[in-house]
Structure 1
């Protein structure tokens, strides 16, 4: 067996540190802890945990109380240490207290979430690292909720929501992941029985309604006027369709359908409003689910022609048999290649992807090329392998456009990239 080297024995790892012995390690830890309050606090909690759940809970309560009452700002120098300490407290509750006493741990996690609004006033969370601590805590709550008493857990969740609805809008999906639908339904009932509801509760109620599979509770959060708007109607109809309430979903969508212009209107006001894309998606699903497959296909194609959506075109062709799908693809490519907006047409062909057709469009409509610089580089990179001439032309036209607007740095970059493409001879 190969003997360890001196260098390997000096590496700071668990095996080497264990070799120092418990007494020496304890001396080192005490020395460091005397200069680092957060480490000393962690060691005290670990010692309390060794004495039992009651002692650890007491230390956790002290720290939670301190976080709740403290008002001092956390400087940028202290920020990383503060967030690590906060996450260590979360881990002590979920990782050390929970195995000893699950109800006590769940109670402390609810309290932990309560301090979020307080610490947010003290710390500038530029990179989202503190928000991530509370997201992990919401996940910890979810793990404990799976085995908690349903009624008590629902009441606790409802109470937490009323105190910080904004925070729970983001945390709710994490807390309810894997939880039984009955928990969300019970929390909904609890919220509906409480006074003092505000508009801030609505996103959370919708989240609970989705978790409970309760389409009626979701719909009840919108006014009758809002339900007549296409985006809201699409949301509600989607949930009704999920609940197999197909005809009801159709009625909701029909009530919000774009209306034709009034007689006598001229100009822009005389043109019918374009359907909302999400409303149209729900309408197509309704047509399919209600046995109107041909009408759904017609709606898909009409939507594609208007929006040049690759999603719509692919959904249309997937439902064709034999060689009909190939013919439909060809028609879609022709429609995109001839579209009045060059970039939108090329976007469709690149997204499909239909690179030969995209290259042909670039060559055939060279004088019309108008593409954003970032898309030019992205698409040229995709084309240069098999269609170097089209990639070169695309980059050259973009470079010329940059030169005309006096963006010489971009012009040079695009020109150099164009020159790096090996063109076929002749």
Structure 2
């Protein structure tokens, strides 16, 4: 048996004890026949010489990846992902430490590989996409350290590289990279690039969405609110998320009345919400509507209309049971008023039409006694196909409310058994055992079948 701390364990300290010469011999042996290991060693040697040598070696490899048209076989997929991670890591690590003005255009060159690589592999798990997303984030860390002249000749002309990414890069990456690279452009570089983008847009019959997004990024950098807004069509400006974006920028510029007008034009509303309101069961707002509400509340506060902002917080909570909205509402109330308001809010949640939204809120608040009471009152409304909600809720309340926790577990068990959800059979077996362990703590089953009767009923499902 290998002992903990054994000198045979593969650790940095144990390998270092072999000595540099012996390790070098081992690395040469290991690298024989392994192109990627050889490549990594060459890159490390180049880094030890200096930034220019490392940049030269990295450029050769990026060009090789870019020029290749061969499809990446699934057997080589993991190896290719590892190489991308290695190249990105060297650029973000050693090269940035040596010379960030070289590292930034190199990282942009890495990001530019995304479009070509996407046509050469299926990337079912999104590993290659994640590698390029990480590179986009790395640009944000490198850009503040790199301050080249944007009009300098290639390969250090960031304006040219960014323009090329906007025109030919993988969809969605160009504007994100541009936003992260802004610190390296400076005010003059931003102005020059915006002029180039707008000139290109003017010559296009159908304007590129990436270029419009780029103008918005650049307009934001210049504090040009109207330039940002101009990139939206009238039909886009009435959408709640876009109305919120416009309003926030107008508010930041001190144009509060215009911000309110932008929000009023983009008030959330849909046929589904209208029907829900008529039926007395309004649909909770989606993420876009919540963001719109956040923006409206922010603008009301900026206008000194705190009472209206509070009314909006409460109305939003009542409609969707947002924990965050209620917390914001309560913390602005005077002492003692907040206690009364909290009781009112929890009572509203307990009687909410959507039992799952109510349970989620009461568990997260937390108000576990009320959550248990909700379950005991409305066990038939529980959807057992919601384990992501019901299971943690059962865990939260099982100590003080074993019957309510048992009903939550049973809802999931019965759903699994009735519909033969084979992927959840093992979970259901654990839930049965957990429910059985709670049974001794239940003195009154309150009309529900006891543990033995329930187990017998579940066993009756032939597919179980």
TM-score above 0.5, yes or no: yes
Q: Name the CA shift for 1:138/1:337 in 2 (closer, same or farther; >3 Å).
A: closer
How many angstroms does 1:227 deviate by? 0.9
Name which of 65, 68, 71 aligns with 1:70: 68
Q: Name the CA shift for 1:236/1:39 in 2 (closer, same or farther; >3 Å).
A: same
**Range 28-37 or range 397-406, more displaced:** 397-406
**Correspondence 1:296 to 2:309:** yes
Name which of 102, 111, 114 aligns with 2:112: 114
Q: Name the CA shift for 1:388/1:25 in 2 (closer, same or farther; >3 Å).
A: closer
Q: Name the CA shift for 1:318/1:33 in 2 (closer, same or farther; >3 Å).
A: same
How many angstroms does 1:386 deviate by? 1.9
Matches within 5 A, 1:186-225: 186=191, 187-195=193-201, 196=204, 197-210=207-220, 214-225=224-235
* Aligned-partner SS, 2:200: coil
**Is the 1:165–1:200 Cα contact (8 Å) retained in structure 2?**
no
* Aligned-partner SS, 2:393: helix
2:452 is matched with: none
**Range 205-214 or range 130-139, more displaced:** 205-214
**Is the 1:210–1:218 Cα contact (8 Å) retained in structure 2?**
yes
- Residues 15-64 of structure 1 deviation map (CA, whole Å, 9 limit, x = unaligned): 55555555544443333333122233333444455555554444333322
2:391 is matched with: 377
Counterparts of 1:98 and 1:260 in 2: how far apart (Å)? 50
Counterparts of 2:276 and 2:359 in 1: how far apart (Å)? 27
Counterparts of 2:407 and 2:277 in 1: how far apart (Å)? 41
**Correspondence 1:395 to 2:436:** no
**Is the 1:342–1:370 Cα contact (8 Å) retained in structure 2?**
no
Name which of 290, 294, 306 aligns with 1:281: 294
**Correspondence 1:247 to 2:257:** yes
- Taking structure 1 as the reference length, the TM-score comes to 0.80
Structure 1, unaligned runs of 5 or more: none
**Is the 1:154–1:183 Cα contact (8 Å) retained in structure 2?**
no
* Aligned-partner SS, 1:79: helix
How many angstroms does 1:105 deviate by? 3.8
**Range 361-370 or range 225-234, more displaced:** 361-370
2:441 is matched with: 423
Structure 2, unaligned runs of 5 or more: 152-156, 445-464
How many angstroms does 1:223 deviate by? 0.4
Q: Name the CA shift for 1:203/1:357 in 2 (closer, same or farther; >3 Å).
A: same
Counterparts of 1:292 and 1:395 in 2: how far apart (Å)? 47
Q: Name the CA shift for 1:177/1:360 in 2 (closer, same or farther; >3 Å).
A: farther
**Range 322-331 or range 392-401, more displaced:** 392-401
- Residues 254-307 of structure 1 deviation map (CA, whole Å, 9 limit, x = unaligned): 22236899xxxx988989998733323322222222122222222222222222
Matches within 5 A, 1:84-163: 84-98=82-96, 101-146=99-144, 147-149=146-148, 151-152=150-151, 155=159, 156-163=161-168
Counterparts of 1:218 and 1:41 in 2: how far apart (Å)? 45
* Aligned-partner SS, 2:441: coil
**What is the CA RMSD across the aligned residues, in angstroms?**
3.9
* Aligned-partner SS, 1:74: coil
How many angstroms does 1:79 deviate by? 2.5
**Is the 1:142–1:176 Cα contact (8 Å) retained in structure 2?**
yes
**Range 162-171 or range 249-258, more displaced:** 162-171
1:61 is matched with: 59
Counterparts of 1:175 and 1:29 in 2: how far apart (Å)? 38
Counterparts of 1:378 and 1:20 in 2: how far apart (Å)? 51
